[in-house]
Structures are given as C-alpha cells and as structure tokens.
Structure 1
Amino acid sequence: MSHSFSDDRPSTHTPVGLIAVAWALVGVPLVYGLYNTIKAASALFGG
C-alpha cells in the first residue's frame, strides 16, 4: 500500500511584518519577565 504525502491545499503566504509583530507580542513580555526574575533572584542570592 502506497501513501502519497502530497497536499492538495494551496500554499499560503504569511507576511513577514505579521510574523514580526506576533514575535514582538510574545517576545517583549517574555524578555521583561525574564529581566524581572533575574533581578529578583540576584537580590535574593547576590545581595
């Protein structure tokens, strides 16, 4: 039995700007949270 992996759906193109905005929406809060976590941990452990 042979399986075909070809997809009959048309390929979609996501604009690069939309990808950048989506990453910014995730990345900015992530970096802010990591910064605050490291700052709090250094106050606890580093003095």
Structure 2
Amino acid sequence: MAQNESTTTTGSAKLYLAWAFVGVPLAWGVVMTLIKAMDLFAG
C-alpha cells in the first residue's frame, strides 16, 4: 500500500510540473497579448 501512495505522490508532482511547464509560458503570452492590445486601443 505504501508503494501506491508513493506512486501517487510522484504522479501528482509530475502532473503539477507538467502544468507549470505549459501554464507559465501560456500565462506570459496572455499577459503580453493584453499589454499589446491595450497599447493598440489606447494609443
């Protein structure tokens, strides 16, 4: 039973790492797009 808990913890860590690997650049792109859109419509 301890092995299943360890596997679940490792799987969860990998899942969070994978989401961070995708999510951080995605969030960066969204923020940059919004900044450029504000410049376009404000100026």
Query: Normalising by structure 2, what TM-score?
Result: 0.73
User: Could you list the runs of 4 or more consecutive aligned residues of structure 1 that deviate by over 3 angstroms after TM superposition?
Assistant: none
**Structure with bigger gyration radius:** 1
1:44 aligns with 2:40: yes
Structure 1, unpaired ranges of 5+? 1-12
Q: CA RMSD in A?
A: 1.4
Percent of aligned positions that are identical = 43
Q: Number of matched residues? A: 35
Query: Normalising by structure 1, what TM-score?
Result: 0.67
Match of 2:3 in 1: none
As a proportion of its length, which structure holds more helix? Answer: 2
- 1:6-47 deviations in Å (ceiling 9; x for gaps): xxxxxxx67100000000000000000000000000000023
SS of 2:14's partner is helix
